[in-house]
Amino acid sequence: MSQHSAHDDEIMGKAFDLRLMRRLIHFLKPYWKIFSVCVLLILVLTGIQTVLPYITKIAIDDFLTLPWAVVTLDHSPSAGEPIPLGDGRYLVRIGDISPDTRMKWESAGALSAKRYIFVTQGSPQETVVDRNQQVFTAVPGGFFASEDALRALPATDTITLRQGAVTGVIRLAILFAIALVVRFLFGVAQVYLLQLTGQKVMYDMRRQIFAHILRLPLSYFDRTPVGRLVTRVTNDVAAINEMFTSMLVNLFRDAFLIVAVMGIMFQMDWRVALVILALFPFIVLAAFEFRRRVRSAYREVRRQIARLNANLQESISGMRIIQLFVQEIKANKRFGKINVDKYRASMRQLITFAVFRPLMSFLSSFAVALVIWYGGRNVLQGSLSLGALTAFIQYVRMLFQPILELSQGYNVLQGAMAASERIFILLDEPEEDRGGTGKIENLHGKIEFRHVWFAYKGEDWVLKDVSFAATPGSRVAIVGPTGSGKTTIIRLLLRMYQIQKGEILLDGVPIEQLDLGFLRSRMAVVLQDVFLFSGDIMGNIRLWSQISEEEAVEAARFANAGFVESLPEGYKTEVKERGVTLSVGERQLLSFARAVAFKPQILVLDEATASIDSQTEDVIQRSLEKIMENRTSIVIAHRLSTIRNSDKIIVLHNGKVVEEGTHAELIAMHGLYAALHAMQFAEAGAD
Ligand SMILES: Nc1ncnc2c1ncn2[C@@H]1O[C@H](COP(=O)(O)OP(=O)(O)O)[C@@H](O)[C@H]1O
Ligand SMILES: [Mg+2]
């Protein structure tokens, strides 16, 4: 796990991982009903999409072309709904005659090259027929007109003559329009439902991840950068959403579309369909190769941009050093190299696009050309209808889009898999051990460290055999050089880390046996950096807890944080940008007020007064004296003047307790404390 967390932003794994997918599907479960409706809508939508070209085919074949021809035979043809015209001539429906038969008739000269339109007897067209006697011949059962004759007719007459076809075309147009409207409405519903599901899933994910982050041990945050956790909750969740809402659905739609279109194509004409199918592997290969190149080029560009930014940032913020140490030429060379790399990466990306985009469009047009060439031949031979050819051209174009999208989906899928892997690594991070369930009624506040050994890592002992005790209500100070382990002692007392050896006791009970919430709620910690949340001052004292406003005000007054009341908006004053509008001392007083409001038995101060100037220190010191009254307190102080009155001072050095006693005793010892004291005294004198 830890080996992951160091580099997990770079995880770029498989595009599909069943184990991850299963865990992801889990998030989708509560919304499976909406999702199913969505899938159903997609099926209908894709169905409509594939039907549209077929409608044009019907329009062309059944209504827009002239379906009848005259054959001269000595017997009635067995196909083509023959209508006898007399003199061995028959009117036949071209579409119903097999290509072989047609070829036979054509070569025998039995088939008239002219096409005819058939008009049913008794229809309103009779008047037209009468008016153009030389053009139309009445036949039993109806009339017919040749294509040439039709052309000679005025347009209005043609339309009247072809009333049946016009009605048919109008019907189809209405059907087409209805299909479009349905597609629009269903499309809106589908997008809405899909996005709804996606947003809900994202909401749940963010909630679950944040809830998990809240339960992680504090030690986790020591080794994890804030930015990374933020990315988990925002970007990574969004990447998964993209997969669910765009990629998976597209995959499904495209797969369905390809199957449906291929099905229709084979049904219309299997030979033309086969020709298109033969092109398929090339198109797919080209599309995937394109995506692969784009992906790697894109990644390289991103990497170079990051390098460029980092270099610029560093050079500019370090400009003073560069110039003062006369390193301009070297810095320029370094920048020049990175700049060239960035240029090359961008060019590679651009060339990839420059070549592949036209290539894909060439392939797509080539497929269309192939259909026109091969299909057109079949149309001329009569084995393929003109309508079917038009439909084929539309279908070929329809096939290309999904293939391009599928190859793009691969990227999305890979990104989402990597994101979910990172999210699951975070979610699998063990939660903080809540410890025992023990609680102590009437806590006195006795603290005892017994031979405590602790290391953050392995055997690097930060605390070595530390033992000390703080009796209830007493004031214990811990002093020592930076890095001697003072803060670590406090972390251990709050059980932010587990000790390796020894015992830490609270009123004689090992702290591991205590409920973590209980343990922490009995101690108030004030750190050097006061963290203020966004919101008002009142909120920052109460921290969303049960503490009433009256109690908070009381606590603030008790902690000498009366300055709040002189602010124009008092406790409702907005804390801006983590309290920049407040002075360090004021912020510190607020943190005391916060500590007091929580009424802890034990008060822990870690260098709380270190960064406060001497004027404010007085107010703070008086506030502290009050707060520490009747409480066990552990005070880590840099400035020894502030802890002189402690009941006990523990001197820590390299993780070991080296001296222990009151101020007077330690001074008399002439050891480390006396030396530190003498040093600070000298500094203070020099001021
Ligand atoms: N989270 C951590 N992980 C690893 N080492 C740490 C961590 N925190 C502190 N240390 C190390 O432990 C030692 C004691 O640190 P600390 O208790 O903060 O000292 P002090 O508060 O006395 O300045 C230091 O050497 C420090 O580098
Ligand atoms: Mg410290």
Q: Which atom of ligand 1 is nearest to the CA of 491?
A: 17
Residues with a beta carbon under 5 angstroms from ion ligand 2: 487
301, 345 contact by CB (below 8 A): yes
What pLDDT is attached to residue 192?
93
Q: What one-letter code names the amino acid at 329?
A: I
Paired tokens of 304: 């170079």
C-alpha span between 321 and 612 (Å, rounded) = 31
Residues 6+ apart with CB under 8 A from 440: 506, 507, 509, 514, 518
For residue 104, the number of C-alpha atoms closer than 13 Å in the C-beta half-sphere is 7
Q: Crossing angle of helices 386-428/328-381, nearest 10°?
A: 140
Quote the ligand 2 centre to 73 CA distance (angstroms): 110
Q: Which atom of ligand 1 is nearest to the CA of 222?
A: 1
What pLDDT is attached to residue 652?
92
Which ligand lies nearest to the CA atom of residue 527 in the structure? 2
Quote the ligand 1 centre to 488 CA distance (angstroms): 6
Quote the ligand 2 centre to 483 CA distance (angstroms): 7
Mean pLDDT of 485-503: 91
Lowest mean pLDDT across 83-87, 101-105, 320-324: 83-87
Residue 126 pLDDT greater than 60, yes or no: no
Q: In this prediction, what percent of the chain has a pLDDT beyond 90?
A: 28
| Distance set, CA 523 to CA 280, 559, 642, 676 (Å) | 71, 16, 21, 29
pLDDT by residue (tens digit) across 445-489? 899 999 999 998 888 899 999 999 999 989 999 999 889 999 999
SS3 69: strand
Assigned CATH topology for domain 2-56+170-428: ABC transporter transmembrane region fold (1.20.1560)
Question: What's the predicted TM-score (pTM) here?
Answer: 0.73
Residue 136 pLDDT greater than 60, yes or no: no
User: Whose alpha carbon is nearest atom 6 of ligand 1?
Assistant: 456
What pLDDT is attached to residue 277?
87
What pLDDT is attached to residue 358?
86
C-alpha span between 552 and 596 (Å, rounded) = 9
Mean pLDDT of 122-148: 50
Residue 369 pLDDT greater than 80, yes or no: yes
Lowest mean pLDDT across 174-183, 226-235, 414-423, 606-615: 606-615
Residue given tokens 């916060």 in the structure block:
594
Assigned CATH topology for domain 434-522+634-687: Rossmann fold (3.40.50)
What pLDDT is attached to residue 123?
45
Higher pLDDT, 231 or 54: 54
Quote the ligand 2 centre to 220 CA distance (angstroms): 18
Choose which residue among 218, 224, 456, 651 to substitute to test ligand 1 binding: the one with the highest number of ligand atoms within 8 A of its C-beta.
456
Paired tokens of 640: 């020894």
Ligand 1 pocket at CB < 6 A: 222, 456, 462, 480, 482-488
**Which residue spans within 341-473 are E strands per DSSP?**
447-455, 461-470
| Distance set, CA 444 to CA 9, 322, 328, 469, 551 (Å) | 48, 59, 65, 13, 23
Residue 2 pLDDT greater than 50, yes or no: no
SS3 215: coil
Strand bridging mode 523-527 / 602-606: parallel
User: Whose alpha carbon is nearest atom 20 of ligand 1?
Assistant: 483
533, 575 contact by CB (below 8 A): yes
The 8-class DSSP code of residue 525 comes to: E
Residue given tokens 């100070």 in the structure block:
477
pLDDT by residue (tens digit) across 612-661? 667 777 777 788 888 888 889 999 987 787 788 889 999 999 999 999 99
Contacts of 355-363 with CB under 8 Å at 24 or more apart are 356/286, 356/289, 356/290, 356/293, 356/294, 359/286, 359/290, 360/286, 360/287, 360/290, 360/400, 360/404, 363/279, 363/282, 363/283, 363/286, 363/400
What pLDDT is attached to residue 132?
40
Residue 606 pLDDT greater than 90, yes or no: no
User: Whose alpha carbon is nearest atom 12 of ligand 1?
Assistant: 462
- Ranges of each domain in the chain: 2-56+170-428, 67-165, 434-522+634-687
Instruction: Name the nearest CA neighbour of 30 among 197, 170, 231, 207.
Output: 197
Neighbours of 534 (CB within 10 A): 12
Q: In this prediction, what percent of the chain has a pLDDT beyond 70?
A: 89
Higher pLDDT, 381 or 536: 536
Q: Which atom of ligand 1 is nearest to the CA of 489?
A: 17
φ/ψ of residue 418, rounded to 5:
-65, -40
Q: What one-letter code names the amino acid at 174?
A: I
Q: Would you place residue 119 in the very low, low, confident or very high pLDDT band (cuts 50, 70, 90)?
A: low
394, 53 contact by CB (below 8 A): yes
Residue 124 pLDDT greater than 50, yes or no: no
Quote the ligand 1 centre to 70 CA distance (angstroms): 102
